[in-house]
Chain A
Amino acid sequence: MIELAELRELAPMVLSAVVRRYRDFAASEDAVQEALLAAAQQWPVTGVPEHPRAWLISVASRRMVDHVRSEAARRKREEIVVSLVPPEDQLALQADTEAHDDTLELLFTCCHPALSPSSAIALTLRAVGGLTTLEIAKAYLVPEATMAQRISRAKATIKESATGFDPPTEADVAARMRAVTHVLYLMFNEGYTASAGAELVRTDLAFEAIRVTRMLLRKRPDDPEVAGLLALMLLTDARRTARTGPHGELVPLDEQDRSRWDRTQIAEGTALVTAAFARGAVGPYQLQAAIAACHDEAASTEATDWPQIVALYSVLLAIEDNPMVALNLAIAEAMVDGPAAGLARLAQVDARLGGHYRVDAVRAHLLERAGDLAGARTHYERAAARTASLAERDYLLARAAQLRDR
């Protein structure tokens, strides 16, 4: 039996082939989705065909012929060449088994600048990830019909945009690569963070993000930021099972059972980020991966190389002046120089984060370490009142309650 993952691996190759033949991304994408659904239904009964990829291309092409015909009928444009070729002959053309794999171009299309991140993620999951609409809908806890609409609207948005489905020009490739890595990063976060809480029914978005990023790295083996992104995902995901307790509650890093961290993933992630750093073009994903590696390699919070983490966050802050990074730097500085140093850094970023609950959470933590328990409690409670995450609220409320009972 073909594994689901293998079927999904085939999706971008099948889509590439169909888009090449019919030059219509939106309709081809729908056709491939139907072919994948047909495969999922039929293969368990009939067995996996000898050439699964060719089978999928042929089924998707048949759908495209139907589509083109009905379009032609609708427009009464008999001159459309494809519709004049009988479907049997169309299928004969499919003997072409040459592997076309334009995964990178498909990613460029799906992570189009005209799309919102959530639409880009949904389209990427379907077109490149080979997931069904239902699986994506389950991952987002929305009805299937809603997700189907979101995906078809995403395609319509791309079609209506100035650049349309055209691959990016040479000048735009770098910007589009950043969009692709950003979408994959968000996809990972969506899946990784959602594993907190009771709803483990979600399709594993983190797993899919890692899989698609691996595909991307195969296409761009020399891009250190792609390697950095994959490393960051692996090094973060390695801690996944330890970060939630038996009731789905959040377990902070310093209380996690480190023996449950996935050593294989840590080894792979560390090797990736080390090799990427050696190339010399250091970027935000590599830096975040290096920070994750510092945590993953330490036996305990105390044994963590905090000075190294401070140095890495400082470089990251110099590259992108992001107050959230400054917030993390404050925590690391407090570990090296004591809570007062962290609180001083916090005072600098406070105004820029405009009362974000994370500032309260970090301030609470630092005040607790500084021995100001009443102050810590107030800020834990303030943070708890404003987070939009149930798991996080529970964690913050528990911290506040612990201080009250002391």
Chain B
Amino acid sequence: MKFMLMMNAPGKGPYQIAKWPLEDIKAHIAFMKDFNKQLQKSGELVGAEGLSGPDQAKLVKAGKDGSPITDGVFPEAKEFLAGYWIVDVDSAERAYAIAAAASMAPGPGGTPLHLAIEVREVMSGPPTDYTP
């Protein structure tokens, strides 16, 4: 079963990583790197990406002729997608356990951030054969 784990960071509050002391930033990055390495070693990691900040984000719509119309910037967003993992695991419980571990990523002063991780199953399950 594949799951996408989405790490949502609040737009305000403690997750303003750029404002943390250097030591804390380093610890946070080291945690994430190690976390990914562990998932890789357990044979469960399908992919993981961190996303650039919300101030870089654009909303894109197609104009009348289909050409892109970009809109932005949205610095006041309540929360934003900071990054995601896709894992291939044996059960939903295992995906939740991985999400909980990610939620423990250290913040300022090394205190766990307890970030909310949204866990969604990827639609990769097998369909059933339909008898009439």
Known contacts being A189-B126, A389-B125, A389-B127, is A150 close to B132, with CB within 8 Å?
Answer: no
Contacts of B1 in A (CB 8 A): 388
Contact A388–B129 (Cβ < 8 Å): no
Nearest CB in chain B: distance from A395 CB, A:
7
Instruction: Mark each residue of chain A from 190 to 222: 1 if its CB lies under 8 Å from any CB of chain B, else 0.
Output: 100110100000000000000000000000000
Known contacts being A146-B44, A150-B43, A153-B42, is A388 close to B132, with CB within 8 Å?
Answer: no
Contact A149–B46 (Cβ < 8 Å): no
**Which residues of B from 28 to 53 have beta carbons under 8 Å from A?**
40-47
CA distance A79 to B88 in the complex (A): 43
Known contacts being A140-B88, A388-B123, is A145 close to B40, with CB within 8 Å?
Answer: yes
Contact B130–A388 (Cβ < 8 Å): no
Contact B127–A301 (Cβ < 8 Å): no
CA distance A342 to B9 in the complex (A): 49
**Which residues of B from 5 to 39 have beta carbons under 8 Å from A?**
none
Contact B43–A388 (Cβ < 8 Å): no
Contact B126–A193 (Cβ < 8 Å): yes
Known contacts being A116-B90, A387-B125, is A146 close to B132, with CB within 8 Å?
Answer: no
Contact B127–A392 (Cβ < 8 Å): yes
CA distance A147 to B1 in the complex (A): 14
Known contacts being A118-B90, A388-B1, is A395 close to B130, with CB within 8 Å?
Answer: yes
B contacts with A: majority SS: loop
Contact A250–B130 (Cβ < 8 Å): yes
Q: How many A-B residue pairs have CB under 8 A?
A: 88
Contact A146–B130 (Cβ < 8 Å): no
Q: Which residue of chain B has the shortest Cβ distance to A196 in the bound complex? A: B127
Contacts of B45 in A (CB 8 A): 143, 146
Contact A388–B121 (Cβ < 8 Å): yes
**Which residues of A from 296 to 310 have beta carbons under 8 Å from B?**
301
Contacts of B41 in A (CB 8 A): 149, 153
Contact A393–B123 (Cβ < 8 Å): yes
Contact B90–A389 (Cβ < 8 Å): no
Count, chain B residues at interface, CB 8 A: 23
Contact A331–B132 (Cβ < 8 Å): yes
Contacts of A361 in B (CB 8 A): 128, 130
Count, chain A residues at interface, CB 8 A: 44
Contact B132–A149 (Cβ < 8 Å): no
Contact A388–B90 (Cβ < 8 Å): no
Q: Which residue of chain B has the shortest Cβ distance to A253 in the bound complex? A: B131
Q: Is A10 an interface residue (CB 8 A)?
A: no
Q: Is B111 an interface residue (CB 8 A)?
A: no
CA distance A358 to B46 in the complex (A): 28
Q: Which residue of chain A has the shortest Cβ distance to B46 in the bound complex? A: A142
Q: Which residue of chain B has the shortest Cβ distance to A328 in the bound complex? A: B131
Contacts of B121 in A (CB 8 A): 388
Contact B127–A395 (Cβ < 8 Å): yes
Contact A149–B42 (Cβ < 8 Å): yes
Q: Is B124 an interface residue (CB 8 A)?
A: yes
Contact A358–B43 (Cβ < 8 Å): no
* Neighbour of B126 across the interface among A149, A243, A332, A389, CB < 8 A: A389
Contacts of A143 in B (CB 8 A): 45-47
Contacts of B128 in A (CB 8 A): 193, 358, 361, 389, 392
CA distance A392 to B132 in the complex (A): 14
CA distance A391 to B130 in the complex (A): 12
CA distance A395 to B44 in the complex (A): 30
Nearest CB in chain A: distance from B93 CB, A:
13
Contacts of B44 in A (CB 8 A): 146, 150
* Neighbour of A194 across the interface among B40, B43, B126, CB < 8 A: B126
Q: Which residue of chain A has the shortest Cβ distance to B94 in the bound complex? A: A116
Instruction: Mark each residue of chain B from 87 to 112: 1 if its CB lies under 8 Å from any CB of chain A, else 0.
Output: 01010000000000000000000000
CA distance A253 to B128 in the complex (A): 11
A140-B88, A196-B127 given; 13 more Cβ-contact pairs under 8 Å:
A146-B43, A146-B44, A146-B88, A148-B43, A149-B41, A254-B132, A365-B130, A365-B132, A387-B125, A388-B1, A388-B122, A389-B123, A391-B127
Give chain A's interface residues, CB within 8 Å of chain B: 116-119, 140-143, 145-151, 153, 189-190, 193-194, 196, 236, 243, 250, 252-254, 295, 301, 328, 331-332, 335, 358, 361, 365, 387-393, 395
15 A-B residue pairs with CB within 8 Å: A143-B45, A146-B44, A149-B40, A149-B41, A149-B43, A193-B129, A194-B126, A243-B129, A253-B131, A295-B131, A331-B132, A358-B128, A387-B125, A388-B1, A392-B128
Give chain B's interface residues, CB within 8 Å of chain A: 1, 40-47, 88, 90, 121-132
